[in-house]
Every structure is written in structure tokens, then in C-alpha cells.
Amino acid sequence: MLRLELYKIFKRPRTYISFAIITAFALVIQLALVADGKNFISFALQGVNEQFDVKGNILNGYLVTYIILQSLLVQIPLLVALVAGDVLAGEANMGTMRLLLTKPVSRTRLVLVKYTASVCYALLLITWLAVIALALSVSIFGAGDLINLKSDSFVIILKDDVLWRYLAAFGFAALAMSTVSALALFLSSFADNAIGPIMGTMGVIVVLMIFTTLDLPIFNTISRYLFTTHMIGWKGFFDDPVPYAAITRSAVILAIYTVLFVGATIWWFNKKDIQS
Amino acid sequence: MAADTIIEAKNLSKYFGKFKAVEDLSFAINHGDVYGFLGQNGAGKSTTMRMLLGLIFPDEGSVYIKGEKFGNRSRHLLKHVGAVIERPDLYKYLSGWDNLRMFAQLSGVPITTNRLHEVLEIVGLKGREQDKVKGYSQGMKQRLGIAIAMVHNPDLLILDEPTNGLDPQGIFEMRVLIQRLSKDFGKTILISSHLLYEIEQIATRMIIINRGKKIIEGDVTTLLSPDDTNVDVRIGAVDVATSLKASQWASALTNAVDGKLQFRMNPSHIPALNKWLVALGADVYEIKASHSLEAYFLSLTNEDNAKA
């Protein structure tokens, strides 16, 4: 059944739009940095150069990958929601949900299979991002030490210490995207058209991200419990030392949200009248 | 429940808010039936069919498939049933073959490639199976829908308005196909349609529902008895009403407005009625017997609506 779901997802031309968008986005940033990277680096390191003498291949593939990942913080969840928000609502919209549910398949199993298929898609998307951002950037700009600039400090990670951090960061991003998939699936179970769940997922993420980024005491209290706060836990792998406890806590919170969203979808879908 | 009952609805009721879509509806479909399901638009036919398939959950009552209570925990019983509800909506970006193969794999029984070819042959889609469904006509989609419904060789086929959107040729071909499925392949069929002539041609038993409630159920031949033939008479402007009410025709008379008279009676009495009217001095312009399901259906639903 999972094979059938994946077959349906990857037979649709619009599935590949996400891969094309990521490719285009990464290529634009890479080309821009090839053309004007030196100016960008001198501007970015203005504050640092006043106190330190930074030398070497600063504009390397690892830094370019970090810039690409930072820039795609909002876009990737949208691309994941494009498919996950469509898996139930899209079937209702096409009218195929009727035919699917006249077959002897349990509704719970159907939800789980559709969720698994959306996670597979999200994993492929993250893998593609890793290939296009990391592999291509390193092949264009070469490898080097990674300078991670923060608002009030910077971290230098030695060249030989970077790759595993990226692999771990991509793994964490995959977990975060599984949570986004679960949210989109949950919203998808209420709708008969995919636009609503896709926009709804983005709406929830954008609003919660505002709570996370606005440094107000009232938001600070709740933001630690919001999954959007923990979606950017991958950045922890580029700190020194790596805050493993915080990363683990973020991963657990994301997993709890995922279970809650999928569980709620199963509960609702099992009692839903199919009228589309 | 009879031993050969395939599906049974017991006291089904469904409410959408305050609207009663189906109310205390019971019926049973036995092996070999071609069971016509009739009702005006909004009468509750599709809601009932969806409840039979577990797409909609009844607020009251139960569905039994082969004697077992059907619900979310017994969806395996759907392997005995194949269905096309309303339109046969399919994955348009996939080929007919892919659609058939995918749904076949969900049908709960192992299905060979030969069986896929066989059902395509039965529904007349052989040679077009590799085309994408978005290029199919409405008739082809309907036939593919039926192929998907019957691919796992179920006992019962539930077809909701299978002639909807088809041209006259398509309607004819669909009728032939359904008759073939019943006679040649021994399928029990539950079919709804607003084209009553189609039901009259193929159904052996039928139920008529109105405003969610059963009006009548039984064998088509019994329900459409000659004694219930509608006879419309058009005569010249002679007042026969008083004479009619005092005559032997009074019990058969159902309506009399100006020169238009309506009777429900056996058509063998038409010559005697004609002679009687002529003897009264009436000019008889037309006598029309309409012994059809449509007339019967309209008379029953109109009576029911008048009571409401």
C-alpha cells in the first residue's frame, strides 16, 4: 500500500516542482556568491575583521551551504506541506477518496500509509537539498573552515569537523519536516481541497515563528513549548560545544507533536463522513 | 434475514444537523437480485448507499454484510462488495491500467494480471487501458469504474447513477453491460438511477424512497401489476363527473379536471370505458395507457408529498 501511495505521489508532475524550486534557489545563491562573494564576505565580516585577522578560504562550500539552509527556513516547510497537505484533501477533491474507502482497507492504516508516504517525500526533499546545497557548493567553492556568525559572537569550526555536523543537521531537519508533514496531514483531514491545508500549515508555522522570534516575556513563556521553536534545533550542531541536551529536548518535543498530530488525524478520520 | 441475503440495512437513520436525510430505512438484498433504488433528487439514495459502504456513519441502525455487522472494525467485509458511487472519479494523471491495478491491489484478494485483462474485456476497454484517464470519455470512465468495482469478483455491485452524464448510446451500452453482469456473471446488483426507464428494464426488485423514508419495496413485476396502469383520457367539454362518480368507474378514477380524466385500472377495461363515455355523449379524443415505472413512481411520491 505504501508503494502505491509513493507511486501516486511521484507520478504527479507537481511533486517535482519542490525539487525544481530548491535547485533553482540553491543555484541562484551559489551563482550570486560566485559573482560577488568577496564583497559579501567582507561585508559580513566587517565587525570581526576589526579585531581579528581572518585568512584562508572563508567563502567555502560549507559556508555557502549554511547560507542556503538559513535562507530556506520558511520555504522548506511550505514545500513539504505541498504534498502532505494534499494526501487526504487531494483525494477528497479528486473524488477518489470515495473509491478508496469502498475497498477493504482500514481508515487508520490509510492515514498511516499516507503519512509515511509524505515523510518519505520530505526525506527525499531533504536529501536532495543536501546534494544540491552541500555537494554542489563544496564542488564549486571547495571545503574549508566554517565561520558561523551569530548576533553577538562567532564560532569557527575546523574543516575536518564540519561534515558530520551537516549530516546530523540534515537528520534533525528530516525530523522537523516529519512534524510539519504531520501538521499538514492533520489539517488535510478536515478539508476537501488541498489549498486550505497547505496555506493553513504555512499560517500556523509563520504565526508560531513570530511568537518564537519576538523577544517578549509573554511569548518567551509559551515559545519553549511550540514546535516551531524546536524546528531550528539543527543550528545547535554548528555551536561549540554542541548543546546535545537542548538538541535532544527539541527532538523529543518534535516527536511528541508528530505523534499528537498523527493521532488526532487518525481519531478524526475514523469518525469522518465522506461526503465529497 | 434470509440465508441468501448479501446486504441488509436495518433501521438506518442519518441526520445532517436538523435535516433528516434518511429515516428508519430497512431493506435486504438477496443473491441474484438486480435491486432498483429509486427516489427523487435529495430523497436520500446516495446517503443510504454511502452508509452501506461505510463512507457515512449512520446515526441509528446498522448494516449487515453476509450476516455480519459492518462497521469500521469489520471493513474486511467490503471484499464482498464493489461500488461506484456517484461519479467514477479516478486518478486522471494515471493510465486506465494503473488505476485498475492500484485499486485491485487494495481489494483484499489476490488478483492476477489475467484477471485485469479479463475485466477490461468485459467492460469493453481493451486496447485503451494504457491511455491516461484524463483523455477518457464519461462513458469510458464509468466502464473503468465498474471494472474497478468488479475486479475482485465481489458478490454485490453497488452502482449509484451509473448512467449519469452518458449520451443515449452510452446509456444503452451501460444497460447492456449491467444486464450482462447479472445474467452472465451472476452478480447481485444494487442500482440507483433517476432514469426510471433504465431501472424498469433491468431491475427484478426495487425500493422507492421519498424524503429519506421507504414508500414501497417489492418485486418489479408485482409492483407494476396491470391493475395499476395509469389511463389518461381526453374528452370534449361534456360534464361527465357526476355520472362517473355514480358509475362502476368511480373506484378507478383518480383525477378529473376539465376534459382530462385519469384512471388507475387494468388496460383490458379500456374498450368498455370508451363505449361508456361515448354512450354518455362525450367526444373521446385520446385514451393513453401508461403502464410504466415512471408513472408509478410519480403517483407514489406525489401521494407521499401531498400527505406531508
In chain A, the N- to C-terminal Cα span, in Å, equals 22
pLDDT band at B3 (very low <50, low <70, confident <90, very high): low
* B86 contacts in chain A (CB < 8 Å): 95, 98
Collect all residues of chain B within an 8 Å Cβ-Cβ radius of residue A106.
72, 75
Task: Please work out, in degrees rounded to the nearest 5, the angle formed at the alpha carbon of residue A150 by the alpha carbons of A149 and A156.
Answer: 45
Q: Which of B14, B77, B91, B97 to mutate to test the interface with A (most CBs of A within 10 A)?
A: B91
Residues sharing a CB contact under 8 Å with residue B172, sequence separation 6 or more, in sequence order: none
Q: What whole-number distance in Å separates Cα of residue A79 and Cα of residue A20?
A: 11
**DSSP states of chain B:** --TTEEEEEEEEEEEETTEEEEEEEEEEEETT-EEEEE--TTSSHHHHHHHHTTSS--SEEEEEETTEEESGGGGGGGGGEEEE-SS----TTSBHHHHHHHHHHTSSS---HHHHHHHHHHHT-TT-TTSBGGG--HHHHHHHHHHHHHTT--SEEEEESTTTT--HHHHHHHHHHHHHHHHTT--EEEEE-S-HHHHHHH-SEEEEEETTEEEEEEEHHHHT-GGGEEEEEEE-S---HHHHHTSTTTTTEEEEETTEEEEEE-GGGHHHHHHHHHHTT--EEEEEEE-SHHHHHHHHHHHHHHH-
Please give the pLDDT value at position B13: 94
Q: What is the pLDDT of residue A2?
A: 86
Beta-carbon contacts of A2 under 8 Å, excluding residues fewer than 6 positions away, are A113, A116, A117, A120
Mean pLDDT of B132-149: 89
The ranges assigned to domains in chain A are 2-271
Write down the pLDDT at residue A151: 66
Rounded distance between C-alpha atoms, residue B243 and residue B240, angstroms: 5
Distance CA B69, CA B61 (A): 11
**Grid coordinates given for A226:** 511550540
| Residue with cell string 446488483 | B189
| pLDDT (mean) for B215-232 | 79
Model pLDDT, residue B255 = 84
At B136, list the grid cell. Answer: 477518457
State the pLDDT at residue A50: 65
Report pLDDT for A180: 94
Name B92's Cβ contacts closer than 8 Å, sequence gap at least 6. Answer: A94, B132, B133, B134
B301, pLDDT greater than 80: no
CB B89 to CB A99 under 8 A? yes
Give CA–CA dist B152/B138, Å, rounded. 23
Q: How far, CA to CA in Å, does B31 sit from each of B53, B76, B110, B216?
A: 18, 19, 23, 20
Look at A106 and B72 and tell me if their CB atoms are within 8 Å.
Answer: yes
**Predicted local confidence at residue A66, as pLDDT:** 87
Distance of CA B299 to the CA centre of its chain: 17
CB B67 within 8 A of CB B95: no
The full DSSP string for B57-69 is: --SEEEEEETTEE
Using the predicted structure, report yes or no on whether residue B296 has a pLDDT greater than 80: no
CB B82 within 8 A of CB B20: no
Q: Which pLDDT score, from 0 to 100, does residue A187 have?
A: 95
Q: Given an 8 Å threshold on Cβ–Cβ distance, is A105 in contact with B75?
A: yes
| B94–A contact, CB cutoff 8 A | yes
> Tell me, what's the pLDDT at B156?
92
Contact (CB, 8 A) for B212 and B15:
no
- Helical (H) or strand (E) element with A261: helix A244-271
Q: CA of A100: which chain B residue's CA is closest?
A: B103
Give the per-residue pLDDT at A183. Answer: 95
The per-residue pLDDT for range B17-70, each reduced to its tens digit, is 888 899 999 999 998 889 999 888 888 888 999 999 999 999 999 999 998 899
Q: What is the pLDDT along chain A (276 residues), one digit of tens a residue?
A: 888 899 988 888 888 988 999 899 889 888 888 888 777 777 766 666 666 666 667 788 888 888 888 877 778 888 889 889 999 998 998 889 998 999 999 999 999 999 999 999 999 998 998 888 888 888 888 888 887 777 677 778 888 888 899 899 889 999 999 999 999 999 999 988 889 999 999 999 888 888 877 777 777 778 888 888 888 888 888 888 888 999 999 999 999 999 999 999 999 999 999 887
Of A95, A103, A271, the CB nearest to B78: A103
Gap between the Cα atoms of A246 and A238, Å rounded: 13
Cα dist from A267 to A111, A186, A190, B77, B120, whole Å: 10, 10, 12, 22, 38
Task: Residue B134: name the closest of B87, B90, B165 by CA.
Answer: B90
Residues in chain A within 8 Å Cβ distance of B87: 95
Tell me how close the Cα of A90 comes to any Cα of chain B, in angstroms.
11
Q: Please tell me the pTM assigned to this model.
A: 0.82
**Is B143 part of the contact surface with chain A (CB cutoff 8 Å)?**
no
Neighbours of B178 (CB within 10 A): 23
Tell me the torsion sign for CA atoms A229, A230, A231, A237: positive
A100 and B CB contact within 8 Å: yes
A105: which chain B residues are within 8 Å (Cβ-Cβ)? 75, 106, 108
User: Which residue's C-alpha cell is 499560517?
Assistant: A203
Give the residue carrying C-alpha cell 443510504: B48
Name the one residue in this structure whose C-alpha cell is 417489492.
Answer: B218
Is cis: bond before B267, omega within 30 of 0?
no
Q: How far is CA B209 from CA A27, B214, B297, in A?
A: 64, 4, 10
Q: What CA–CA distance (Å, rounded) separates A229 from A214?
A: 11
Most B CBs within 10 A among A100, A103, A272, hence the mutation to make, goes to A103
Instruction: Check: CB of residue B102 under 8 Å from CB of residue A91.
Output: no
Reading across the β-sheet that carries B60-65, which strands appear in turn? B19-30, B5-16, B60-65, B68-70
Q: Does B250 touch chain A (CB under 8 A)?
A: no
Tell me: the pLDDT tens digits for B171-201? 888 888 888 888 888 889 999 887 777 777 7
Please say whether the beta carbons of A141 and A64 come within 8 A: yes
Give me the residues paired with residue B284 across strands.
B235
> Is B67 in contact with B30 (CB distance < 8 Å)?
no
Which has the higher per-residue pLDDT, A250 or B292?
A250
CA distance B79 to A94: 23
Three-state secondary structure call for residue A156: strand
C-alpha cell of residue A271: 469518525
* 3 state SS of A157: strand
Q: What is the pLDDT of residue A112?
A: 96
Check residue A129 and give its pLDDT: 87
- Identify the pLDDT of residue B2: 56
Between CA A238 and CA A243 the distance in angstroms is 9
Q: Which of B77-86, B96-105, B157-166 has the lowest mean pLDDT?
A: B157-166
CB contact under 8 A, B76 and A95: no
> Above 80 in pLDDT, residue B165?
no
